Amino acid sequence: MIATVLRISRLNLSRDRVAQLMAFVLPLAFFSIFALVFGQQPRRSPNPVRVALVDEDRSDASRAFVKALEHEAALRPLTTARPRGGPASAASVPLDRPRAESLVKDGDAPAAVVLPAGFGAAFGSAGTPPRAELLVDPRTRSRRRSCAACCRRRRRRRSRRPSRGAGSRCSRSTPAA
């Protein structure tokens, strides 16, 4: 019985040219198009994130931690920076906590990792795990969101009524303080 059904299906397929195209040519065309569209994308790694890194402990364990972060492909740790307000030719000095905070607040680095004193000693003790501090400026995300929301509102208003000229551009900004 199965052989009879297969023979009838093969006979119907051999008589119907549209069914032959749909069964054999169309899948090849779709696969070829998707291969052309998605196959030529470069295999790039994402841009590394700049992170200010402050080692206040200066122990062997903290230096090993810093070295491990430097070998991480997704991060680009900044361990030195030029003094603030100094000449461009000034030599870079190791980061301290206030300079890392200013780098984060100024937007030069999205985050800072501070390894406090006693970081290396915590590796030897079984009771307390080593702690590192992560400094992030919470205003950066909210500032982007508030400007994007402002522009969306303006766009919606503009689509409902005719443009008013120069005042139609988003000009809201948040204070830098």
Query: Does residue 166 sit within a domain?
Result: no
The verdict on residue 43 lying in a domain is no
Strand 133-136 relative to strand 111-115, pairing = antiparallel
Q: Is the pLDDT of residue 160 over 70?
A: no
Contact 170, 151 (CB under 8 A): yes
Q: Is residue 58 part of a domain?
A: yes
Alpha-carbon span 65 to 52, nearest angstrom: 14
Q: Which of the residue ranges 52-61, 71-80, 138-147 would you say has the lowest mean pLDDT?
A: 138-147
Q: Model pTM?
A: 0.55
Split into its structural domains, the chain has a count of 1
Is 37 part of a structural domain of the chain?
no
**Predicted local distance difference test score (pLDDT) of residue 152:** 61
Count Cα atoms within 13 angstroms, Cβ side, for 137.
20
Q: Is residue 146 part of a domain?
A: no
pLDDT band at 177 (very low <50, low <70, confident <90, very high): very low
